[in-house]
Each structure stands twice: as C-alpha cells, then as structure tokens.
Structure 1
Amino acid sequence: MKLLSWNIQWSRGIDGKVDPRRILRDARNMGDFDVLCLQEVGANFPAPGLAGSAGENQFEDFARLLPDFTPVPVAGVDVLGPDGGRRCFGNMILSRYPVLRVLRHQLPWPFDASVISMPRTLLEVTLDTPLGPIRVMNTHLEYYSALQRKAQVEAIRSYHEETCLRAAHERVKDTRGSPYHAFPHATKTILTGDFNFRPEDAMHARLRDPFRAADGSASPHVPRLHDAWQHLHGNQAHPINVGLYDRKQWPEAFTCDFIFTSEDLLPQIRSFSVDSHTRSSDHQPQLLELQQ
C-alpha cells in the first residue's frame, strides 16, 4: 500500500500557474500511489480569492482525472459566492481501494479575536486494503491560531480513541444493509496532513501521547500514534516540506506536514520519502509505503 499526502496550494505552482494535471503528473512520478490525500483543494474561488485560479472545481477535476479511484471530498469552507454558487475549500482523499465508510468531522473553531481563521475538518475513511481495514484521516489544522490548533489536536485524539473503543467493545451489530449496517471499525490508522506546527512543537508530542483507560493506566484498546518518519529514522531531522522554493511566501523553509501511524501499523511501514524536486506547490509531497 502506497499513500501520498500533499498540500497542493489549490494546484498552484511556484510559477503561479494553477494546474491539477501537473499535480497528478508529479504525484505519479513519485510513486504508483494507491491512496492520495490532498489538502487545500479549491472550487469556485477565482483570483484574487485564490491567486492564479480561474474558479475551477478542483474536487471534480481530480475525480475526473483519476477515474479508477473513489473520490471523497470535504469542504471546511462552504460559502455563498457572488454568482449564487457555492465556494468551497478543503481536503480530499482518492482511493484505489474500496471505501467502506466515510466520516467528515468538523474540528473545533473556538473564538480567537486576535487572528483571522477558517473552519477546519478531519476527513476519515475506512479502506478495504490488502493489509486489512485501515482508517485514513486527512486534515489541515489552523495556521494563525495556536488556540484553535490545540483544540483541533485534542479533537483528533478523541475521534481516534472513539473509533478504537468501538472496534474493541462493539457487540450489537446490524448486518441487514440498513443505515445501522456494521462495517469494520479499524484500529490501524494513518493520520496525515498539514498540521501547521513544527516537529519540536508541543502539539507534535501531544498527538503521540498514550491514551489512558479509566484507571489512568495505558489503554490496551487504543494504539498510540507515531510519527512515521521518526519511527524509521529516529532523531534524524524531517525533510523540509514547506517553502523549499517559495521564498516570497516563506522566507524560511521548514516542516509542518507529517504522516502519523498507529502503533499496531508500525510493523508494516517500509519506507517514507519526500519529493524535494517538484515545484508544483509551495509544499513537497510525502509518500508512505506499507507492506505485510
């Protein structure tokens, strides 16, 4: 299983051109991905709302360009445009594997008067993979507000814990094909996206904290989340994945895009790579490979 994650900046490259086809070309050049997780997908946001954009619906573009994949979109921002249509901005997962279940979580958006901000989401899908059911969660946390990021990290931990506890304890199941139909609750999890914090940030450590049972001991049912790069490379610095070429937007290049996996998936991790050559976005894509 190969999963590629990329903040595509609404398909806008360092040259200022918006081109979803170029995004897919560079993604395919990196590897024959089975799951594609995208952040910053836009629809009906023409420039200057999103620089370089003609207002194309990129959710539809990527679905059309990958006809053998199941497209799963989510819009954190969904507002009325001047033309009466909907303007959307959010994330997307496209999967070659069957998508058993989709959950679209609205992340907390607590009041923070000191900064601008936008609504944020966590897109969660359960996939039927050769490694068994795997839950993939794709997100993009708030950039300007540390208060909101902190609340969003806690919500992600809560969603992970809830699903794992359902997997461990759910006993009453419906198999009639109704809306109550019981699909697998996978504990094996991949969490990816643009987290807008750096590796040394306390929020990075918080995502990796163990989960606790009611008596305060480590929960036997909720596997911890681990940074996949750190699992493979220890204290070796994460590859830069933001601002490598865009010095106008980012005077300093840094890392804020990560892929976390649950503890029970660590034995399947085989490789983690970052494409440091593409200039099709202000971020660099990351590829995680899992095997039996």
Structure 2
Amino acid sequence: MKLVTWNTQWCRGLDGVVSTERIVEGARAMADFDVLCLQEIASGYERMSGAPGDQPAELRALLPGFRLFFGAAVEEFDGEGRRQRFGNLIATRLPVSLVRHHPLPWPPDPTVSSMPRMCTVVTLASPELGTVRVMTTHLEYYSSVQRRAQAQALRALHIEACQQAAAPPAAAFDDSPFQPKPHTQHAVLCGDFNMQASDPSHAEIQAPFTAPELPAGGVPDKRFQDAWPLAHPERPHDPTFKLFDKTYGKDPAAFDFVFVSDTLAPRVRRVEVDLHTRASDHQPVLIEFGD
C-alpha cells in the first residue's frame, strides 16, 4: 500500500497560484498511490489568497476511481449565508468500510489566533495489510496548549480503537446502525502536526499504553511509532516546512509525519519526502508498505 500525505495550503503554490490539479500531479509524481491524505482543503472561502473554489469537488473530478472523504474542521457561513468549509481529505481506491470524523480539543488560549481542528479516520481494506485505519489531521500552529491537547487526543483515539478491536460490541445483524463494524489495531496516522520531532508532544503520541482489563484479555501495546526512523534509522527527518518559503522562519524543519501502529512497523518499506516541489509551502511525504 502506498500513501501520500500533504499539507496543500489550500492548494496554493509558492507562486501564489491555487491549483488542485497541480497537487494531484505532484502526488502522482511521487507514487501510484492507493491513498492520498490532504490537509488544508477549502470550499467557499473566496476571499482567501488565490480565491480557492470548491476544492473537494475539484479533487473528486481529478481522481476518477477514488472515493473521497472530506472532513471539515471548520464549517461556517458568511454574512450572506454562504457555506464555508476548511479541513482534511482522504481519497482512496481501496475498499472502504467505515468513515469517522473526530473533532479534536480546542481549549481556550486567548493569547493567539486559532481554529477548530479534527481528525478524519477511514477504515479500508488493503490487499497487503488487511483492515487498516487511516487517520489524517492538521494540528494547531499558533497555540502549543491546544496542539498538545490535540496530540493527546489522537493517542486516545488510537487506544480506544485498539480496545474496540480486542473487545468489539455485541453484534446486531439487523442492517441497522448497530450492525457489526470493522475494528483493527492496524493504523496509520499522518498529516501536519505543526511541531518538530523534538517537541514533547511528538513523543506523547508514541507513548506506550497500558491496557485496561477487558473481556478479550486486555489490549496488547500497539502504540504509534514515527515511521521515518524505521526507514532511515541513522538519518534525521527530511524537512517538510520552511524549505523554500521563509514566511514562518528561516530554518527548514520536519512538521509533517507518518506514524504507524506497532503492528504495521515491520511492514514499512519506504518513507520519502519530495524536496523539490513548490506546489505548497509544505513538502509531501510518501510511505510504502509491503507484505
């Protein structure tokens, strides 16, 4: 399974041009991906730089054979009643069985500007890996208080999913919303975390968890691991932010990560960053899994 994750800056390149087509072309240049996770996808914000259109609709037209799942972290209406949405998107050509959109914590921090954040989770079937939860997110940039709360919430979501996999709800085969759901400890968490690997929250996402007593005998520790050191154990992360655009600082840094559950760590074959594209202010990241 090949997955590309990219903070697109509402598909606005460093030349100021907004182009969903260029984003898709850039992702395809990295790999013939099975899953594409995009952050900062906009709809209805016509006054933003570059005047983005209905980007979920544009991306759907550009990705025939893929199913698209857009999760709006922000959904609001302007003074004239026009709908505005901003969030994350997962596109995949693999079979999908469940989609969930989780709002992340937004504790008050009056010292900075901020916006709501969320995590979209798509449970899909990979021929190589089996059932996998693909999670994509974009954490708060300006508030470290909010960012840490959001990182902790992501870990909690993974723990809960592992608990459900170990002790699923009683089945109700009645074609209702109570019908059985796919539960798995296999998970990929990717996106723009707005932190460097040295940030304590980066370590908190990967912290081991102790299973509670459950009917299935408890949950083995299936914590998240940063996939980059698995593929490059002797090399620091390639930068994904501030490589070309120095608006937010002069020193390039890795802000975009892919975390994998312990169950998938042995299956990581490749993790790469496109260090050349200028189609966004972030660089895309590719992860490839094998048998």
Aligned partner of 1:271 in structure 2 is 270
Question: Cα distance, 1:116 vs. partner?
Answer: 0.7
Aligned partners of 2:118, 2:234: CA distance in 1, in Å? Answer: 30
SS at match of 1:93: strand
Aligned partner of 2:66 in structure 1 is 69
Question: Cα distance, 1:235 vs. partner?
Answer: 4.3
The letter of the residue matching 2:192 is D
- Residues 110-160 of structure 1 show CA distances to partners (whole Å, capped at 9, x for unaligned) of 011111100000111100111210000000000011111111111111111
- Residues 221-260 of structure 1 show CA distances to partners (whole Å, capped at 9, x for unaligned) of 3401000001122242100101111124443221110000
SS at match of 1:271: strand
Aligned partners of 1:10 and 1:42 also within 8 Å = yes
- Residues 261-286 of structure 1 show CA distances to partners (whole Å, capped at 9, x for unaligned) of 00000121110111111110000000
Aligned partners of 1:187 and 1:222 also within 8 Å = no
Question: Which runs of at least 4 in structure 1 moved beyond 6 Å after TM superposition?
Answer: none
Aligned partners of 1:241, 1:77: CA distance in 2, in Å? Answer: 24
1:89 aligns with 2:89: no
Residue identity (%): 43
Q: Equivalent of 1:146, from 141, 144, 158?
A: 144
Q: How does 1:1-292 map to 2 (within 5 A)?
A: 1-47=1-47, 50-53=48-51, 55-130=52-127, 131-170=129-168, 172-214=170-212, 220-292=219-291
Aligned partners of 2:12 and 2:18 also within 8 Å = yes
Aligned partners of 1:45, 1:250: CA distance in 2, in Å? Answer: 26
Question: Cα distance, 1:174 vs. partner?
Answer: 2.1
The letter of the residue matching 1:266 is A
Question: Cα distance, 1:173 vs. partner?
Answer: 1.0
Q: CA RMSD in A?
A: 1.4
Of stretches 75-84 and 191-200 in structure 1, the one that deviates more from structure 2 is 75-84
Aligned partners of 2:79, 2:248: CA distance in 1, in Å? Answer: 28
Task: Give the TM-score normalised by structure 2.
Answer: 0.95
Question: Cα distance, 1:220 vs. partner?
Answer: 4.0
Aligned partners of 1:136, 1:77: CA distance in 2, in Å? Answer: 21
SS at match of 1:87: strand
Aligned partners of 1:5 and 1:193 also within 8 Å = yes
Aligned partners of 1:151, 1:118: CA distance in 2, in Å? Answer: 14
Aligned partners of 1:2 and 1:32 also within 8 Å = yes
- Paired residue total: 286
The letter of the residue matching 1:4 is V
Task: Give the TM-score normalised by structure 1.
Answer: 0.95
Question: Cα distance, 1:84 vs. partner?
Answer: 1.8
Aligned partners of 1:206, 1:185: CA distance in 2, in Å? Answer: 23
The letter of the residue matching 2:284 is P
Aligned partners of 2:278, 2:249: CA distance in 1, in Å? Answer: 14
Aligned partners of 2:125, 2:109: CA distance in 1, in Å? Answer: 40
